[in-house]
Amino acid sequence: MTDLVIRPLVAGEEELFDSMPDPLPQLRKIAYADGIAAGGYRPENTWVALRGGQVVGRAAWLLPPGAVGAPWLDRFDLVAEPEVGAALLRAAHEALGGPGVYYAALPAHWRRRPEVLAVVSGPMEAARLAGLVERGERLRCSWTGTPLPTTSGRYMFRRPLDKAEINTLVARIAEPDVLTGVETAQGVGGVDLATDPLAWLGDSTEQWRVGVADGEPVGLVRPTGDACFPLIAYLGLLDDAVRGELLVEAVRLLAEDGAREVIADVDAHRVAVLAELERTGFRQVRSRVTFTPAAEQE
């Protein structure tokens, strides 16, 4: 690595970052220049590894304007050996005040795709060598107009009585099925979407729906078309039996408002939730593996 140069970008070097071809063009992502223009990416938070003047590794930390948290590693691409990537990360961590969270965006079903594994194994190994540890995986699923399953008619869906009812139900739901944008809520607003969704989604109860059976609440969902794209921000159950019909209700509300696609994020280990999403017409479009500093695992 004697001819290796590792450094942050300086203003006006956006083209240097983009001179490295995108190794995963099938993934939706914000263009680096657009991120610079919006203020989320900054040259001082973007590092490159150069060999012979060519970019062989690049890493961009993201912190949207107004965010309360620390920057997180949002883009990390590598065409050199993992040791080069680890050196890049270590240098950046030292300059940025220490390692932070890395969200590795991956194509759906990446473990079963040799051509994808060949691309992502290097950066992931580099992250491990730099002291980051895998913490979990979340899957992004997308509904794009598939006919919705017929519902049983057993459940009624109504708006919450007030914010207090939402908070009461959230407190009773130990582990929500769907939390879309939970990483952004935490990183930008310092909000735990699972336990305090109103702090991130706003005080209005209009878009929330409560699933009711025999007069008793059995589930709670918050579809929203007010984000960057229509999505199911929160879905939690008090009775697993309502899962499929609550999903259908959420998608129906968004589709009636004009949505042609609906996004939902689910933890990869929630097999029953993922199966119900697929029965509702959702398909996996992306995986996100979270890495955190090793010290946070202790």
What integer pLDDT is reported at residue 298 of this predicted model? 45
pLDDT tens digits, one per residue of 74-131: 999 999 999 999 999 999 999 999 999 999 999 999 999 999 999 999 999 999 999 9
As a whole number, the mean pLDDT across the chain is 95
Q: Tokens 């229509």 — which residue?
A: 230
Instruction: Round to whole Å and give the CA distance between 47 and 176.
Output: 36
Instruction: Round to whole Å and give the CA distance between 150 and 94.
Output: 55
Biggest CA–CA distance in the chain, Å, is: 72
Instruction: Round to whole Å and give the CA distance between 116 and 23.
Output: 9
pLDDT tens digits, one per residue of 132-166: 999 999 999 999 999 999 999 999 999 999 999 99
Query: Nearest to residue 62, comparing CAs of 85, 78, 46, 49?
Result: 46
Domains in the chain with CATH codes: 4-130 (3.40.630.30), 143-287 (3.40.630.30)
CB distance 77 to 23 below 8 Å: yes
**Cα angle, residue 175 at apex, residues 174 and 178 outer, rounded to 5°:** 145
Residue percentage of the chain with pLDDT more than 70: 98
Query: Nearest to residue 26, comparing CAs of 92, 127, 116?
Result: 116
Check residues 212 and 1 and name the one with the higher pLDDT. 212
Residue 218 has pLDDT above 80, yes or no: yes
